[in-house]
Amino acid sequence: MLDEGLNQLIATSATVLAQVGASRKDKTTGIFGGQAPGQTPLPFVVIEQIGGDPIMTLDGPLLTRTARFKFSCHSDSRLAAKRLMKAVRGTLENFTGMLPDGTNLQNAETVLEADAFEYAPLDYVAPLEVELLYDDTGS
């Protein structure tokens, strides 16, 4: 599925790994779908699908679809969260082709970049929203 392919792409990106750490204390990649487990050490990224639409023709929907994903990049400072967000953005915008799960990603376009302070102490987040064009092969 697309979200698993994106997770694997981000988790194996050298620029993202330089930010989240290749050998983490929690023995994870630092990339999580939906929600990070409690007490996850900073920095980390949470991936959520927040939208998506089929591309319709007179013959019905195409296999090609759009999906909107939010990548919440967490770190212990505003600047570190923004650096992590830029690493994720660069990974997505510079990639086209087959994701590790077999999904064909045609395009990734940034829709929103922001920064905020989370409720946990010293947890800054830089959300990134990206519109993806991909082929939904049903896997």
The number of C-alpha atoms within 13 Å of 108 and in the hemisphere containing its C-beta is 23
pLDDT at residue 23, rounded to an integer: 87
User: CB under 8 Å to 90, separation ≥6 — which residues?
Assistant: 15
Residues spanned by the domain of 123: 2-135
Q: With a threshold of 0.85, does the pTM exceed it?
A: yes
Residue 138: pLDDT over 70: no
pLDDT at residue 139, rounded to an integer: 55
Q: What is the chain's Cα-based Rg? A: 15
Contact 126, 84 (CB under 8 A): yes
Residue 137: pLDDT over 80: no
- For the chain, what is the domain count? 1
Q: For the chain, what is the largest distance between any 2 Cα atoms, rounded to a whole number of angstroms?
A: 53
Distances in Å between the Cα of 4 and the Cα atoms of 50, 71, 117 are 15, 13, 27
Could you read off the pLDDT of 9-47 as tens digits, one per residue?
999 999 999 999 988 999 999 999 999 998 899 999 999
Please tell me the distance from the alpha carbon of residue 93 to that of residue 96, in angstroms, as a whole number: 8
Average pLDDT, the chain: 91
pLDDT at residue 61, rounded to an integer: 72
pLDDT at residue 24, rounded to an integer: 92
User: CB under 8 Å to 133, separation ≥6 — which residues?
Assistant: 64, 65, 66, 105, 106, 107, 108
Instruction: Name the percent of the chain lying above pLDDT 70.
Output: 98
Range with top average pLDDT, 1-5, 36-40, 127-131: 127-131
pLDDT at residue 38, rounded to an integer: 87
Residue 124: pLDDT over 80: yes
Please tell me the distance from the alpha carbon of residue 19 to that of residue 88, in angstroms, as a whole number: 10
